[in-house]
């Protein structure tokens, strides 16, 4: 049975960090729409330029474009056994589109870990966030999860940088959009018995442990 997991949480809640751990442990691809959009940066098409503009101001990419990008990603051979979604779905229409997409593939969403974090902590975490230039999935935080050597990735020695949309203005806008557009998803998934709420203010290890135990239960059930 394929396994599809949807990670929900405000910016800075630790979705990317936990997705990378799950992806390795369960051999499933980490499907992050933000990452897929950032990869399009190298393309010089009107669509890629428009996406770039939307991202830099911290707004949401339109649902139809986002769903299309995910549909194409799920057609890659590494996604036959499932996927870990990070940053998708972010709106109710996207959640409905995902159900349809997975239904067509003979699967369904199996679990929705919700990393609960308050707004103030989220802003603090984002402003301290540093990403590896060689692999954007290697993410650090100068306060809670610093690299061994400042400015250098522990895993591959890449230089660390701060994302252009992590400016205080763009970050605040993304956080507002989370509470406005993405919070309604919680009810959608709660109603289906899929939601697993986790206190994201805990250590990375504690969050992982709770998530894995919920996942093992979901797999068994």
Extract the tokens encoding 31.
Answer: 């499907």
Question: Among this protein's residues, is 90 annotated catalytic?
Answer: yes
Residue 83 in the binding site for ligand ADP (CB under 6 A): no
Residue 112 within binding range of ligand ADP, rule CB under 6 A:
no
137 versus 193: smaller Cβ distance to ligand ADP: 137
Binding residues for ligand ADP restricted to 90-109, rule: CB under 6 A: 90, 94
- β-strand 129-132 against 139-141: which pairing, if any? antiparallel
- For 169, the token pair is 């203005």
Q: What is the enclosing helix (H) or strand (E) of 86?
A: strand 82-86
Among 71, 100, 119, 163, the one annotated catalytic: 163
Q: Which two tokens stand for residue 146?
A: 């610093």
Q: How far is the CB of 219 from ligand ADP (least distance, A)?
A: 25
Residue 119 is among the residues annotated as catalytic for this protein:
no
- Residue length of the chain: 221
d(CA 208, CA 24): 12
Residue located via tokens 């897929």: 36
- Residue 11 or 208: the one with the smaller Cβ distance to ligand ADP is 11
Binding of residue 58 to ligand ADP (CB under 6 A)? yes
Q: Which of 2, 40, 48, 61 binds ligand ADP (CB under 6 A)?
A: 61
Distance of CA 195 to the CA centre of its chain: 16
Instruction: Write out the residues near ligand ADP by the rule CB under 6 A.
Output: 11, 33-34, 37, 54-55, 58-61, 66, 87-88, 90, 94, 165, 174
Q: Indicate which residues carry an active-site annotation.
A: 15, 90, 129, 163, 174
């Amino acid at each position: 049975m394929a396994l599809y997991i949807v990670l929900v949480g405000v910016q800075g809640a630790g979705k990317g960090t936990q997705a990378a751990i799950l992806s390795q442990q369960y051999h499933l691809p980490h499907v992050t729409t933000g990452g897929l959009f950032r990869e399009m940066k190298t393309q010089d098409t009107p669509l890629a330029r428009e996406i770039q503009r939307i991202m830099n101001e911290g707004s949401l990419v339109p649902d139809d474009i986002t769903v299309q990008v995910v549909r194409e990603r799920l057609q890659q051979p590494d996604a036959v056994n499932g996927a870990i979604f990070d940053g998708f779905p972010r709106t109710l229409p996207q959640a409905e589109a995902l159900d349809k997409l997975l239904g067509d593939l003979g699967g369904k969403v199996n679990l929705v870990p919700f990393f609960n974090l308050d707004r103030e902590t989220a802003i603090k975490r984002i402003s301290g966030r540093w990403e590896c230039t060689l692999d954007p999935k290697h993410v650090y935080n100068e306060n809670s999860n610093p690299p061994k050597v400042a400015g250098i990735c522990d895993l591959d020695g890449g230089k660390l940088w701060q994302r252009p949309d992590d400016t205080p203005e763009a970050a605040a806008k993304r956080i507002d959009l989370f509470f406005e557009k993405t919070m309604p998803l919680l009810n959608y998934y709660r109603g289906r018995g899929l939601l697993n709420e986790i206190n994201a203010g805990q250590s990375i290890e504690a969050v992982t442990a709770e998530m894995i135990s919920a996942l093992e239960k979901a797999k068994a059930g």
